[in-house]
Structure 1
Amino acid sequence: MAGPLDVLPVARGVGLPWDDEVGDAVVAVANARAVHGDSFVVRSGGDDHLFTFSPVGVESFYALPEDVASKGVADYLMLRRKLPDEVFAGRRVLPDALFRRDDVSSYLNHLSRALDATEAELGEAGTVELFALTRRLGHRLGLASWAGPGCADGDTFERLVRAFDVLDGAEAFVHPDAMAAVAAAGKASERQALDDVADVVAPVVRQMDSPGADVGGLFGRIVAAWATEPAPVRDRGVAMDVALIHIASMSNLMAALGWAVVDLVGHPDRARLVAAGDADLARRCALESTRLAQRSIMARSVLRTVAFDTGAGIVDVPPGWTIATLLPLLNTSAAPGLEAWDPDRWHHHRLADTSRLASPMLVTAFGHGRHTCPAQSFSLAAMSMALTRLLGNYELTPQWDRYPRPVPAQIGGVARSVDDSRVGYRRR
């Protein structure tokens, strides 16, 4: 029988970085856990959060039905701090349509061409900021995959990169402390960037009206979804679908790729094997680096009262609350040795040995069960391809004097580096 929430301790004086000056967001929640145990309440900005870290609590979290406690709603509430409502309203093709099997094969073909373009830009030797490199690669891959012909090339590509750098929804959790300023400005820069995307994409949409135009792939499906509308409505609608898909899809993947390169250049024996084409090792390295780079707050917005088992008891959580756990506090501490980078701990997409874990769900790179990221297989294939290409074709030399650090305020997604993470490179 469920009991009232007031049996749970409240972490007094602890806020979340959207609402309070927190410093290091993960450390703030870790300190609250050290004081209050594995289940406690955080009240921040007028919102109530039940944080859970016990084995039973985490298993209960992953078992929450979407129609009762919604990941989609929680993600929307986070992203709308950064993005105008227009990018969400009235969408006809959503990011969950991204990963059909035939689409994934085409994305990998686009990635191969994007890597060709990246190598052409790099040339024979030089230095490059690693996370800027992988971010640009992600833009090129994504825009080639769903923004229509020509959007990953030339001036059109550069205009879209500038717009999407402004529209980076990940800023809502990478720099949550900046969201008050975004709101105060009425999201003016973001609205202008959406107009820029529409200006670029509209002529591409009109090209689809030409006889013999290639209307296949995801972009073709987006255009078809708006085909019955008058041209101005159609063009804007297609552009907004493209914008939401691009915003939702690439930034975490390419941040994870950056950390995988960081870790491999720090482990030259493994890097040599990946450079020689060991795709399975590259995939395991990608999983391990993603695990360690996680800053994700996994959150579910409660839509209907739910009886939730924290491990210390069952409590009724009412609508309007958020149930959450924080991956960086589990991924490196749920068993001895997890703080170290070791790709051999993975077998396929799972940990090879979970015997020392109180629950296998305490450690993850991409989630568990029905809450596994739908992009997991594609992401690992893409990172594996990129790692084998970049390390196979270039000798990389790190130019940092300490391991790059995550942005302290970040509470969500894969870590972004607060440090300049330059590498020197020379073509093999």
Structure 2
Amino acid sequence: MNDRVPVAEGVGLPWDVAVTDGVAAIAAARERHGDTFVVDSGGQHYLFTFSPTGVESFYALPEEVASKGVADYLMLRRKLPDEIFAGRRTLPGSLFRRDDVTSYLDNLDAALDATFAELGDAGTVDVFALTRRLGHRMGLASWAGPAAADPGSLERLVVAFDALDGSDAFVHPDAMAAIADSGKAVERAALDDVVDVIEGVLRERRSSVQPESLFGRIVAAWAGEPDDVRLRGIALDVALIHVASMSNLMAALGWALVDLVEHPDDAARVAAGDAEWARSCALESTRMAQRSIMSRVVLEPVTFDAGDVVVDVPAGWTISTLLPLLNTSVAPGLDRWDPARWHRHRLAEADALASPMLVTAFGHGRHSCPARPFSLSAMTTAMTRLLGRYDVTSGWTGHPAPVAAQIGGVARAAYPCPIHYVRS
């Protein structure tokens, strides 16, 4: 390792040591040491990079040399039981075939219809609880079959998946030590509940499984196994897909609704059906709500150009950058919500940045989120239908704040964010 790279002494990451605000801790280390520095935490070594060249080098890393997949797995396994990963035959990366996405959006429409029936004509609801439940309903219908979104199954699965939520690994990293000490007892019990419900759905509705659907392909992947192995395997495939796919999307939708409630003129354009504007609002809210630590675990030694220094990074290290320290600060005005800065899914004035890769909502290049087209379509549909049906006002004072301990993913709100709604 190049001895010109400073080590941020006394800095640890929040899943290893007590840190009130992990993003602020890394920001303070950057203030002291510049755009390239090392954090040693929990026996692991992290090379942080924030310069334009460093961020470009980060996005250029080949997966087989420095792996996002391994980094994501190591993050999630702090929260999730090992058995949810072992032996999976259908993985989250296979979710977004075009014909599948069409069916997911059909399920979103059905989920919105059910949501409207629950909400009624007027009331008050926490915006993030609303979007989280919507995500459960849409997602479970999409990869566990429509019967999983029936009222009896849905209620049990919502409780189980809220307990199993893998995003806690980065939203509440300070809780990971206690979870490890418990042997993940709560999570294992929740996973058993998921398996029990999905097995019941399969036994009752086996003949109605559509073979061309994602759920049908999950079921087919376990054909020929003994019943106990087959049913549990199917249920665990569904569980991993669900915990890996929904929570960040629905948090982003929550922030988009928060921002639109605070900007009534923009909300009126969305409610009137301006899909392009809704898409821009979704991108802007996602950009501003990012708390993501973007990481790659180094599998083979790599020479990394960080701009101010070239670093020989050994295998076993992690190379990271932190979106909230870039997305809102690398150019004037980025600290303000302004959907007009987007053209389609790109920043309209990206050439004005030192590098266009310094600002992102869904990543860049080969490391772009594969769910981006679906996510933007889903957010646009949900925003348009919700705001087209209801007049909505906020029940908070001051713009909601993120969970301070969070370091990763789209922000979760630190406290309830009620909205008051009345049928238009």
Structure 2 matches for 1:319-338, cutoff 5 A?
Answer: 319-338=315-334
- Using the aligned pairs only, state the percent identity: 70
Match of 1:375 in 2: 371
Contact 2:96/2:371 (8 A) holds in 1: yes
1:240 paired to 2:236: yes
Q: 2:410 aligns with which of 408, 414, 425?
A: 414
Q: What is the one-letter code of the residue matched to 2:162?
A: D
Q: 2:225 aligns with which of 224, 229, 234?
A: 229
Q: Deviations over 1:289-334 (max 9, x none)?
A: 0000000000000111000001012111011100000000000011
Match of 1:315 in 2: 311
Structure 2 matches for 1:2-401, cutoff 5 A?
Answer: 4-207=1-204, 209-210=206-207, 213-401=209-397
Using the size of structure 2 for normalisation, the TM-score is 0.99
Q: Deviations over 1:8-48 (max 9, x none)?
A: 00001111100111111111100100110000000111110
Shift of 1:130: 0.5
Distance in 2 (alpha carbons) for counterparts of 1:123 and 1:153: 19
Using the size of structure 1 for normalisation, the TM-score is 0.98
Contact 1:42/1:51 (8 A) holds in 2: yes
Distance in 2 (alpha carbons) for counterparts of 1:220 and 1:109: 17
Shift of 1:207: 4.6
Secondary structure class of the residue paired with 1:374: coil
Distance in 2 (alpha carbons) for counterparts of 1:412 and 1:48: 18
Distance in 2 (alpha carbons) for counterparts of 1:206 and 1:93: 20
Contact 1:205/1:238 (8 A) holds in 2: no
Note the residue ranges of structure 2 that are not aligned, 5 or more in a row: none
Shift of 1:213: 4.8
Q: Deviations over 1:337-372 (max 9, x none)?
A: 100000000011100111320000000000000000
Q: Deviations over 1:278-299 (max 9, x none)?
A: 1110000000000000000000
Contact 1:299/1:325 (8 A) holds in 2: yes
Contact 2:209/2:215 (8 A) holds in 1: no
Note the residue ranges of structure 1 that are not aligned, 5 or more in a row: none
Distance in 1 (alpha carbons) for counterparts of 2:114 and 2:205: 25
Q: What is the one-letter code of the residue matched to 2:250?
A: M
Contact 1:103/1:217 (8 A) holds in 2: yes
Report the CA distance shift for 1:299/1:232 in structure 2 as closer, same or farther (over 3 A).
same
Q: What is the one-letter code of the residue matched to 2:363?
A: G
Q: What is the one-letter code of the residue matched to 2:152?
A: D
Shift of 1:208: 5.9
Contact 1:205/1:223 (8 A) holds in 2: no
Secondary structure class of the residue paired with 2:148: coil
Secondary structure class of the residue paired with 2:166: coil
RMSD over aligned Cα atoms: 0.9
Contact 2:107/2:138 (8 A) holds in 1: yes
Shift of 1:203: 2.5
Shift of 1:6: 2.1
Distance in 2 (alpha carbons) for counterparts of 1:322 and 1:87: 24
Contact 1:134/1:257 (8 A) holds in 2: yes
Shift of 1:274: 0.5
Q: Runs of at least 4 residues of structure 1 off by over 3 A?
A: 206-210
Distance in 2 (alpha carbons) for counterparts of 1:213 and 1:69: 39
Q: What is the one-letter code of the residue matched to 1:315?
A: V
Aligned residues: 424
